Amino acid sequence: MAAKANIVIDQGTTFNTQLNLTNNNGQPLDLTGSKAEAQIRKWYTSSNVVSFSASIPQPNNGVILLSLDANTSANLAYGRYVYDVITVTTTGVVTRIVEGILTVTPEVTTVVY
């Protein structure tokens, strides 16, 4: 079962977060050979998708990095969304790691990109 975590993103800003994954014994989850994917949708069945940039820079330490550039977050209407993060192993095993509500707070100062 996926962990639950809510995220707040400030519209029009660069967003980065690091997920530190552990197994049931509290040891770092070994993600060697896996890839990560993460998506944002207005609701679960929405066909409009925004993808996070998801990478695994430290596979032996269970670290996944998620990011959105400022232009991408600026194009998200403020409000509530849903998101999740999955990993896919080299043998095709898909695991939902984390899921939750993503809230985009409205920007006041806009930047021309």
pLDDT digits (tens, 9 = 90+) for 34-89: 999 999 999 999 999 999 999 999 999 999 999 999 999 999 999 999 999 999 99
Please determine, for residue 109, whether its predicted confidence score (pLDDT) is greater than 90.
no
pLDDT score for 113: 62
Percent of the chain with pLDDT over 70: 98
3-state secondary structure 6-45: CEEEECCCCEEEEEECECCCCCECCCCCCEEEEEEECCCC
pLDDT score for 52: 98
Residue 111: pLDDT band (50, 70, 90) is: confident
What are 36's two structure tokens?
A: 């990560």
pLDDT digits (tens, 9 = 90+) for 47-61: 999 999 999 999 999
Burial 2-36 (b: 16+ CB within 10 A, else e): eeeeebebebbeebeeebebeeeeeeebebeebeb
Q: Report the CATH fold assignment for 3-105.
A: Immunoglobulin-like (2.60.40)
Where are the chain's structural domains?
Answer: 3-105
Query: Is 0.85 topped by the overall pTM?
Result: yes
